[in-house]
Structure 1
Amino acid sequence: MDQNSKVNLQEEKKGKWIISRNYDLSWLIAPGLVSIIIVLIAHQFDFPKEVIPGSGRTDGKALPPWLWLLLIPGVDVSHVYSTLFRAYLDREVWTRKKTLLTLTPLFCFVFALILYSFGKLVFWSAVAYLAVFHFIRQQYGFLSLYIRKEKNTQGISILWDKITLYAVTILPVLYWHLTPDTRRFEWFMEGDFFYFPNEILARSVHILFWIWVFLYSLSQVYFLLNKKEISWGKILLLVNTSSVWYVGIVFLNDDFAFTLTNVINHGVPYIALVFAYSSFRRKSLPSLFYSAFQKGILVLLPFVFVLVLLAFSEEWLWDSFVWREHSDLFGNKSVIRSELGLGFEFILVPLFFLPQFTHYILDGFLWKGGKDNNELRDFLGFQKLDS
């Protein structure tokens, strides 16, 4: 069997799923939907009772400490470091894209330094909008992968899918900007968004969101009735995305709901995608991980351990030298009392933000299709995970 025949056979087995039906449903789609169910149930029982309206930055003041530790270092920050397996720990990628992987952190650090020189609020406002863009683009990236799996899809249908993805994410964020008086959470810190209060426009945006969802649903029913092929992974991704952004931002509007839905739906699928990629690319990883990946499920141990260790270390630095708010979790009271780093936030903040900033930028290159993105093309075309 020639190489092209093998590719076609693998594509046929994978169907319209990125990895496989079970893997996609379990790790790319379900996390967001499960997080919605959790926050809706929690809302009925008034959990967590520590929620403080207008508590400012999403820093855990409105979350039980154990939950903050699980969501922020455990998922959110950990997913940032999974980029290491997609880029820096992949020998082939590092060799071919050494310039990009070397210059990006340098650029990010210098840019962050310049940005912070304009003031703390300017910096966090800029990175908040960058984060919003990154979160939206990740969902767009997953959608693009599903679209690439569809055959005989017309250009207008693809455009309709992509515009819908942007609509169901941007409209809730726009609603957020139009309703500052009712906001009970922030993205990074209080005042990082620019608000334009307008009740009438906010209601219009709310109505437009549901009109858009209704029209898109009708279009998919039309495709089904006309026996046109549709990708259930794509549909479920859009259901997942619209639900998470609407429930977390508009419907419940509290720090717990926003943080849990936002973090879980963004972090878990990304880690799962990188894990699948690393399983496929294990021969290009360092020997420690190569041997572990060959042992199937046991690879989760070194994989997750590395991510959590790096994430916890970063959050320890943030708390010890910048935020100084979670000494009971990090055991850093003595460091905080010594006031080390006080007055050096102008360099510490850009430095500590470097992994996240680098992740934002590299993510736009590493998962984008292109002639030179051989490892991604091979991963999507030949992917086969051990059961």
Structure 2
Amino acid sequence: MMAHSFLKAQPWIFSARFDLGFILAPALLVTLAAVVWSLFVGAAGETSPWIWLVLVVGVDVAHVYSTLFRTYLDRSELSARPLLYGLTPLLAWLGGCLLYWCGSMVFWRVLAYAAVFHFVRQQYGFMMIYARKERGLPPLFRRIDKAAIYGATLYPLIYWHCHYRQFSWFIEGDFVRLDLPLLATVTGLAYGAILAAYAVKEAALLRRGIGFNLPRNLLLAGTVASWFIGIVLFDNDLLFTGTNIIAHGIPYIALIWGYGRNQARLQGRRSSFVSPWIAYLFTWRAVPLYMAALFGLAYLEEGLWDGFVWREHGNLFGLFGTLPSLGSSDALIWLAPLLAMPQATHYILDAVIWRLQTRDTNWKQVLFAQGQGRL
């Protein structure tokens, strides 16, 4: 009973079972798997095409398209911010064309850093959501929380910039190389001090009788573990890809599904989805359809990339092999940004649609509608 009461009192987004299983566990489990693999199997080899298909297409690219259910497939959202949703893809494409015109590496470097910013901010966003009920505390406590989650992501990134790694974010050379190992050392010491301050802060909360915020601490622990182990501890492309993608993509896909589930329950037959059948995807029996829809869109995008540009996975994208290979053609100035437009749009919109300070939409009432039934 005490354990049940403890879990029930926690600031879950949806429920203890759902949050633990799909938002908090992925980072911890994939990190544990990476460590076990390295200890008992040895260094992971090259990523097989089928593992690549599952991780990159089925999780990473698929999570980009899950944003559609929160934005373009929601009639009320579209009517509330028509300029945002109308102009963002166009400006993302035009901006990408300008960057590619300046040089392909300029384009990929900007896109890589935009992706990094998006990944970092997602962890910060989850941290703030789980800390949303911690009001009336000294401002220093919230600053320590922010420093801890940013440190968990930025220190491994700084280390990566200062030490050669056998993996890249998108393409080789997309990160700026800094020959400053001392910077990584100093940052690591500062990061250790921040984590120590966080532990002291948590002890102070317990002494005050405020209690232990389980999801916030598990979120931080998963971020610390997956980013450090995936980037710093192991210099391996497969382990980085696995920890990076699973820790980021699965929680986001689950967040969108849970949001859609709450939305369908709250709105009933008068759902604001652009089509009534969309609400059906947010039932447990339709989860395979939800994932299949995301995978189908992701597969189409990656097939176009492979057919027009990369030519690396012909065995996975056979039908797309008939497309003309553009290679270094000038056509890539407009085509590459067009293919990257869903990704860039996702990065931009995701920085806007989950802001806790937003008052012009009802997304918080939908997201935190725990009383509408258990997930």
TM over 0.5: yes
Partner Cα separation in structure 2 for residue 263 and residue 189 of structure 1: 16
Query: For 1:252-300, what per-residue CA distance to the aligned partner results, in whole angstroms no more than 9, with x for missing partners?
Result: 121111110110011000000000100111222221122454xx31121
Equivalent position of 2:322 in the other structure:
335
1:351 aligns with 2:351: no
Residues 307 and 322, structure 2, Cα contact 8 Å, conserved in 1: yes
* C-alpha distance 334-30 of structure 1, shift in aligned 2 (>3 A): closer
Equivalent position of 1:287 in the other structure:
276
Residues 100 and 337, structure 2, Cα contact 8 Å, conserved in 1: yes
Aligned length: 360
- Write the letter of the residue equivalent to 2:19: D
1:319 aligns with 2:301: no
1:146 aligns with 2:134: no
- Write the letter of the residue equivalent to 1:80: V
* C-alpha distance 192-232 of structure 1, shift in aligned 2 (>3 A): same
Partner Cα separation in structure 2 for residue 188 and residue 117 of structure 1: 19
Q: Counterpart of 1:152 in 2: which secondary structure?
A: coil
- Which residues of 2 match residues 1-387 of structure 1 at below 5 A? 15-46=10-41, 49-50=44-45, 62-180=46-164, 183-282=165-264, 283-285=271-273, 286-293=275-282, 296-332=283-319, 334-335=321-322, 338-339=324-325, 343=329, 344-369=331-356, 370-381=358-369, 384-387=372-375
Q: Report deviation, 1:44.
A: 2.1
Residues 123 and 223, structure 2, Cα contact 8 Å, conserved in 1: yes
Q: Counterpart of 1:184 in 2: which secondary structure?
A: coil
Residues 27 and 268, structure 1, Cα contact 8 Å, conserved in 2: yes
Query: For 1:176-213, what per-residue CA distance to the aligned partner results, in whole angstroms no more than 9, with x for missing partners?
Result: 11113xx1111111111111112333233333333322
Residues 289 and 302, structure 1, Cα contact 8 Å, conserved in 2: no
Unmatched segments (≥5 aa) in structure 1: 1-11, 51-61
Residues 17 and 149, structure 1, Cα contact 8 Å, conserved in 2: no
- Write the letter of the residue equivalent to 1:155: P
Partner Cα separation in structure 1 for residue 229 and residue 272 of structure 2: 40
* C-alpha distance 190-63 of structure 1, shift in aligned 2 (>3 A): same
- Write the letter of the residue equivalent to 1:170: L
Q: Counterpart of 1:204 in 2: which secondary structure?
A: helix
Partner Cα separation in structure 2 for residue 218 and residue 349 of structure 1: 48
* C-alpha distance 321-261 of structure 1, shift in aligned 2 (>3 A): same
* C-alpha distance 174-322 of structure 1, shift in aligned 2 (>3 A): same
* C-alpha distance 236-49 of structure 1, shift in aligned 2 (>3 A): closer
* C-alpha distance 316-234 of structure 1, shift in aligned 2 (>3 A): same
- Write the letter of the residue equivalent to 1:186: S
Q: Report deviation, 1:49.
A: 4.8
Residues 108 and 354, structure 1, Cα contact 8 Å, conserved in 2: yes
Partner Cα separation in structure 2 for residue 239 and residue 310 of structure 1: 32
Q: Report deviation, 1:159.
A: 1.7
Residues 306 and 320, structure 2, Cα contact 8 Å, conserved in 1: no
Residues 176 and 250, structure 1, Cα contact 8 Å, conserved in 2: yes
- Write the letter of the residue equivalent to 2:36: I
Q: Counterpart of 2:368 in 1: which secondary structure?
A: helix
Equivalent position of 1:56 in the other structure:
none
